Amino acid sequence: MVISQIFKTLDSLLDSALVDDSQIGEFRDRSKVRAAEAKIKASLENDKNRLKELLEERHKILTRVPLIIEAIREPKGPPPEINISKPEILDHKLLQVFRAKCKAHKVTFNSGFIGVMRVALMELVREAGIVRNSYNISTLHPINTRRYMSNVTSMVWAFHGMPMTLEMATPWDARNNFWKHVVDIDTKFREHIKKMGPVEDYVLDTMLKPMLQSVEKNTIYDMVFTNTWSPTIITIGNGKHVQMSHFHFYTSLKDLEYKLTCGIFGFKTWVQSQLIYSSEYITKENVVKLSERMTTEFNDTVKTMD
């Protein structure tokens, strides 16, 4: 929305036209989510057995070792750098077929691509020597907490993001049963959001914080996945006078519990995926392999008969 408005403003100025300064949306604070946090915390404290069980589950997540570190080990060498991979452009025709398959299986595009990402990661570590019947993969997903607000009639401004953990097993043969695995992903993803799971996770993490202060802060999550593309959103970059020539996905990974991020976004008439990684977590060579595997998995999934 912000980038779109910048393009409209610049084009209006270059046309010597009046700039539309009408109100766009409304600001909301995080009071709705804070109230939900307090309610969830009180509910958990009233159910000691469930609280104990959930705290143990979160503790395992917050102290786990990612598959990449387990299989490939952390690269050694100069001080770590944050690098960005070459963007992978998703073929437009294949993208439409992939979306149609997602719709046919009643899953979101987001869940479909999470499946692509998880299978590619699994195959990378399997090739590196970690051979198992299934692989426990923990990914982090920024979600929009505006969904928990009521009486919303326009765009809600201010920061309303919250990380959501998706931890589940990926069978070694998930590539051969791709859509079954994606349906499982989609079901767990939707259920967790519906029951305000991300808010509950945040409450549990806050409770665990004193217990984890003595634990060295390490990489926990295998990957982060963020998808800002949607067919309902007009792609940016094609202004009347102002044309954008490059678009890159950037984020900081310093002192975070993840060191590898995959982003998908629309730019002009195409959609692209891109990886950002820390050299202390994964080498450039393995990032290239992972990126290529994701593209291959995406293309093969589209071309395979279901």
- Over the Cα atoms of the chain, what is R_g? 21
Nearest alpha-carbon partner for 28 in 163, 199, 150: 150
Ranges of H-type helices in 20-137: 31-45, 48-62, 67-72, 92-104, 109-127
Spatial separation of the C-alpha atoms in residues 99 and 113, rounded to whole Å: 10
pTM of the model: 0.89
Question: Which tens digits make up the pLDDT trace of 181-210?
Answer: 999 999 999 999 999 999 999 999 999 988
Superfamily name with CATH number, domain 2-303: Nonribosomal peptide synthetase, condensation domain (3.30.559.30)
Stretch 10-19: mean pLDDT, rounded? 90
The domain ranges of the chain are 2-303
**Burial of 62 from C-beta contacts in 10 A (0-12 / 13-18 / 19+):** buried
Query: Coil, strand, or helix at residue 276?
Result: strand
Question: 296: how many CB neighbours lie within 10 A of its CB?
Answer: 13
pLDDT of 110 higher than 90: yes
Question: What does the pLDDT read at residue 115?
Answer: 96
* Cα–Cα distance measured from residue 61 to residue 264, given in angstroms and rounded to the nearest whole number: 25
Q: Report pLDDT digits (tens) over 251-274.
A: 888 888 999 999 998 877 778 889
Residue 86 has pLDDT above 80, yes or no: yes
pLDDT of 295: 92
Bridge partners of residue 30, in order along the sequence = none
